[in-house]
Structure 1
Amino acid sequence: MLAETVRKVREMDPIGGAWYMDGKKVIIWVDASCIATCVALGANGTVIEDACWLHPTNDAQHINLVELDTALKGANLALQWRATVLHFVTDSVCMHQWISDTLTGKARVNTKAAGEMLIRQWLETLKSLAKEYELSIDIKLVKSYQNHADSLTRVPCRWMDLLKEGREPMLGSCAAVKQLDGNQVADIHHQSGHPGVKRTLYFARKVDPHVSKETSKFIVKACETCRSIDPVLVCWKKGKIGVKNNWGRLAMDVIHHNGKNFLMIIDCGPSRFAIWRSLHWTDMITVIRQLESILLDRGPPMEILTNNAMAFTSHLQNIGTYICNFDVRTHQVEIVL
């Protein structure tokens, strides 16, 4: 399936060759199927962008609602190209009639579907976009084979047959379901590319629906590859950062306020004295200069608490070594990340 998909993309991808955006007029091909929705954006006789979205497995929306949603997504893509003339092309008779009646106002939108209110809401949204951005919108009805977005939402029938055959054992009796142990769940986790707890549980339950979430958590936590790529967070001991003496322990961080950066230092002693210094840049050198000014004015503390931000862990120079060498005659400063 993967090899065939790559071959189809190379042969039938609408986007290819030299293209450019000249003017404000675009053609938006939209299409939807039971599997996915697709939008192809064209200008000057060339498709310049396309996008495809798969439906959720529990999606129960009617195909006409999905077609309208796809039209809104196509309008959003066109607005990103700063287009003002949108020409929709679709093979859906209902969507063509609804959008035409909404934009022209010649007739009232006639629908008695279960999602009538959603249909009217989406149509009003499209009408509001046209009014807000001063868009000129029209729509054209074509055959499916003339829709450039149609080929991006289709899969071969033999693929669907293979998927149905793969689901048959799980729809049979309980005796046909394979029971998995911890080692087999670990093998599924490894073969799936070391995903997280939820994805590991999803793939394991496709074989054995009775696999528990605790088993998936244990497998992911014990996986050496996952721990090396995304190590488990360290469980810190509970306690208090407050101290009895003023200016003995400082908490330092870079914060953002009204679009500006500040270096904030708070005394963990009883005074809770706070100092804010404006930062033009949040790099190591700027932080060191402001910190040097504060320590020259009030003296070095015994301990400084910081996080693991790049400004405090930069390889350009070590902030801990710098502060320890700042004034060794009075205090030995410890940096705690």
Structure 2
Amino acid sequence: MTVSFTPSEKNRSDALNRVPKASLGEVEVASVVDIQDLHSKHHFGVDRTLYLTRLVDPSVKRECVESVVRSCRQCQTIDPAPSNNVLGEISVPENWARLALDVTRFQGRAYLTVVDCGPSRFAVWQEVASENAREICGHMTQIILERGSDGQ
């Protein structure tokens, strides 16, 4: 498993997602940054972000806030805009060739759920102390070391 971090200044998609100054009309680029900062604290939707932003700057337009919220990656992973997806299969012919994982909450505790997408559909649940990357990677390493690369 390979996980890598790409800083924002080297990430080409970040440059593509930034709102061009010319398309903002009357709103200054600094206002967009302020809206992004306010929005990133709580990831509220458009209405709440607009309310908080107007407490700081009453002249901010709703369209600008909508643009910021629509371009927020974290919000899109939680509540993505409706889109037409091509249906496909996640199953694979070999066991442990593909794993699906998520963090599930049950009775106030967090559990890492790992499911084999191969024919076995073997599932593992492990309680996790937190949902950060280091914790999840540690549990995944433990599962792979216990089960082996082929799940045996």
How would you bin the TM-score normalised by the shorter chain? 0.3 to 0.5
TM-score by length of 1: 0.22
Structure with the bigger percentage of strand: 1
Structure with the greater alpha carbon radius of gyration = 1
TM-score by length of 2: 0.46
